[in-house]
Chains A and B, each alone.
Chain A
Amino acid sequence: GAVVSQHPSWVICKSGTSVKIECRSLDFQATTMFWYRQFPKQSLMLMATSNEGSKATYEQGVEKDKFLINHASLTLSTLTVTSAHPEDSSFYICSANRNRLAPYNEQFFGPGTRLTVL
């Protein structure tokens, strides 16, 4: 159990286009999902917290108008990179908590989406 999927697994797009990445919890409901970004040879950086039915919370330095997050259901969150540029090329990873009320914070991660902007 506790499987998180992402689609697509990789995408190549032209500069200026928008790209949507989906994150799904396949066998549990997630009121909260998280989006991370990872540049080559670096660690994961939390971008935003996606809350079902409400606005996402963005980390400092992350442009909310550029990285649009929608969490329309308990099993799906989407990240849209608007007007993508080469510097947005990165590995985007989502995660979800199965039990938001648990005292510990075990998160289940998706396999990641490799975005390359030409």
Chain B
Amino acid sequence: DAKTTQPNSMESNEEEPVHLPCNHSTISGTDYIHWYRQLPSQGPEYVIHGLTSNVNNRMASLAIAEDRKSSTLILHRATLRDAAVYYCICRGSGGGADGLTFGKGTHLIIQP
């Protein structure tokens, strides 16, 4: 798995957009970029994934740099329920045979 670097923590206000950055300069051409988040005292949940193009789903958007060495998870309108640790993970296209390697992630704090 490519090493990822994320800020330890970020703070935002409720109902404002949040941009969570992730650097993955050693990503290979076939690595997917995944984002998971973990709410307090819960198991992680899948947020979004992408390969080359930007992606949108009901939870968030994923903006991938043209050189793929970085990406940004965008929460368009943060709520208090979005307070969690967000993990950016780069994985090869080897399917579901391997577990995930979690870094330290970004602790997102949402202020009311």
Contact = CB atoms under 8 A, between A and B. Distances in A.
**A contacts with B: majority SS:** strand
B77 interface: no
B41 A103 contact: no
B96 A43 contact: no
A44 B102 CA distance: 6
**Chain B interface extent, by class:** 20 to 34
12 contacts: A36-B102, A46-B101, A49-B97, A49-B98, A94-B43, A97-B95, A100-B95, A101-B96, A104-B34, A104-B91, A109-B36, A112-B41
Chief secondary structure at chain B's binding surface: loop
Interface of B: 32, 34, 36, 38, 41-46, 49, 51, 87, 91, 93-105
Contact of B96 (A99, A110, A111): A99
A103 B99 contact: no
Given A46-B101, A97-B96, A104 B43 contact: no
Contacts of A116: none
B102 A106 contact: no
Given A43-B102, A43-B103, A107-B100, A102 B43 contact: no
